[in-house]
Structure 1
Amino acid sequence: MKFLLILINIYLLVKCDNNVDIPSQSVNRTVVPYNTIVGYASTNVEAYSNGNDSQTTTEYNSLYGIFMGIKWQCVEYARRWLFIRKGCVFDSIDGAADIWTQIDYVQRVDNKKCFSVKKYSNGSPNPPRNESLLIYNRSGIALPFGHVAIIVDVLSNSIRVAEENYDSYLWIGNYSREIPYKYLNGNYYIEDKYPIAGWISIIDYNQTKPLDQYTINNIIKLNGTSPDFICSNNSIYHFISFYSYLIFIFVLLKNYYM
């Protein structure tokens, strides 16, 4: 049992990328300590520093009793941004890259209303959309579980994103990085060092809104328990992926100690 707990802790610590070296524009090189705010996006969604490459934690973050994720991972920020700005959350996933393949709906927390999502592959004829989730694929040692950021602004030839666990630098504005994109042969390509799956937009028909005090009070009445995620069920994917990972770690450790 103790060995299994060790494997689970290892799994949790590497679910998201750890301070990956993705090139960016307009970066402030002021390093911020762990658990310190690095900036704000979309008016009121703060992002926290995850420290440095050696910083690991198994602490969880909740907001108004609703689970957000592991501090201060990219998935935690994406879920918290979605919660604060749209009152919705997405289901549990094993890594940031799995949002692309496993998340087809988000759910409003206070009444369980479901909203579908629209996925635009990198190289889509549709331009990047503001308030979309930008999903990175898994990519070797640098991005073993991918990465996710929030597109908070779309300019004529670049996007601005907000995120956690990319680096520990203080933001220079209301975004963490500016990433170029190009329009080529009728398609839009966001250009970064590591492969991008695409961006995901919430199809809400203007029915979602930022949290207000009335909604917060209703959520608090849930007594600190997240409602069941009824919009979709990726538990089978989660189960298979989780235990496949445990088997991989077990074989790795077994070979190491033999």
Structure 2
Amino acid sequence: MKIFFIFVFIIILYQCIHLTRSAELKEKSVKLSYLELVKERRSINEKKLAPFNDIVGMASSNVIAYSNGNDTYYSNEDNYLYGIYMGLKWQCVEYARRWTFLRKSSTFESIPGANDMWNQLKYVERIIDAEKFPLKKHSNGCPNRPINESYLIYPIQKDMPYGHVAVIVDVLPNSIRIAEQNFNFNYWSYNYSREIPVTFKNDLYFIQDQYEVYGWIEIDDNQQLMPFDPLTVDKIQMKLNENLDLNSSA
């Protein structure tokens, strides 16, 4: 009789273990299926080209990136925010200036092309009081680690007739993440457009992009520049009106 009960107990125990393992395997299978689905959707999303004016992504909490359609299209349309000139829709320099406006409440002077930022830009100017904050250049292959919230500048080269500018929005141990316009025309899967490897060799840091990189330009503001506050719009408008009055009287 005891043997019979032991036998029944073993059978019940085996069935419980089997059911538990089956449930675990099923749960793992569901998780894997979900992850594969997410990966597949991201892959499709990344391959899909966005038409001109479509939002492709957003970085730094609130800086939207738009598609230029392709890298040869020139819209001839100016973009303004609160009366401040941002640039031509949807060029890379427009994104860099709009990022500067929204994240640093500042802007920078007009330049012929992204390539010229490396040698021509010396400062950004805070909108509210016109105070200037210097820019510091760090050549690719320098002893300083890439700095978050810097401009990444590319020279004129094949596929880049005016150079290119992106914004570094995250610095990881072995890579940087950037946000940009008019480079790729896919919808972003994350809050950045690309992740680029960074190597450290002979005490120097190198951004290993597929294209040549001048380096990165740091905004030397000592953390004084804050994100744009919509409450300052009236002050900006007053400043613009003052400038218009001065121009009229001249």
- Which TM-score tier does this pair reach, normalised by the shorter chain? 0.7 to 0.9
The residue aligned with 2:190 is 173
In 2: Cα distance, 1:189 partner to 1:136 partner? 14
Q: Relative to 1, partners in 2 of residues 1:54 and 1:98: Cα closer, same or farther, differing over 3 Å?
A: closer
Q: Summarize the alignment of residues 109-120 of structure 1 with structure 2, pairs less than 5 Å apart.
A: 109-120=127-138
The alignment status of 1:64 with 2:82, answered yes or no, reads yes
Contact in 1 for aligned 2:57/2:65 (Cα 8 Å): yes
Amino acid at match of 2:212: P
- Identify the match of residue 217 of structure 2 among 200, 206, 222: 200
CA deviation profile, 1:21-56 (whole Å, cap 9, x unmatched)? xxxxx8822211110111110000000000124533
In 1: Cα distance, 2:152 partner to 2:97 partner? 13
- Identify the match of residue 204 of structure 2 among 161, 180, 187: 187
Aligned pair count reads: 201
In 2: Cα distance, 1:163 partner to 1:195 partner? 16
The residue aligned with 2:153 is 135
CA deviation profile, 1:85-121 (whole Å, cap 9, x unmatched)? 0011111111101100001111001110010011100
Structure 1 spans left out of the alignment, 5+ residues? 1-25, 228-258
CA deviation after TM superposition for structure 1 residue 223, in Å:
4.4
Q: Relative to 1, partners in 2 of residues 1:42 and 1:225: Cα closer, same or farther, differing over 3 Å?
A: farther
Contact in 2 for aligned 1:151/1:161 (Cα 8 Å): yes
Structure 2 spans left out of the alignment, 5+ residues? 1-42, 245-250
CA deviation profile, 1:203-225 (whole Å, cap 9, x unmatched)? 11111100112222211334479
Contact in 1 for aligned 2:71/2:182 (Cα 8 Å): no
The alignment status of 1:93 with 2:114, answered yes or no, reads no
Q: Relative to 1, partners in 2 of residues 1:160 and 1:224: Cα closer, same or farther, differing over 3 Å?
A: farther
Q: For residue 172 of structure 1, give the secondary structure of its aligned residue in structure 2.
A: coil
Give the structure, 1 or 2, with the largest relative contact order (CA under 8 Å, sep 6 or more): 1
CA deviation profile, 1:147-184 (whole Å, cap 9, x unmatched)? 00000000111100000001210001110001111000
In 2: Cα distance, 1:193 partner to 1:224 partner? 46
In 2: Cα distance, 1:175 partner to 1:71 partner? 19
In 1: Cα distance, 2:212 partner to 2:133 partner? 27
Which protein is richer in helix relative to its size? 2
Tell me the TM-score normalized by structure 1: 0.74
RMSD after superposition: 1.8
CA deviation after TM superposition for structure 1 residue 69, in Å:
0.4
In 1: Cα distance, 2:64 partner to 2:133 partner? 25
Tell me the TM-score normalized by structure 2: 0.77
Amino acid at match of 2:181: E
Contact in 1 for aligned 2:133/2:219 (Cα 8 Å): yes
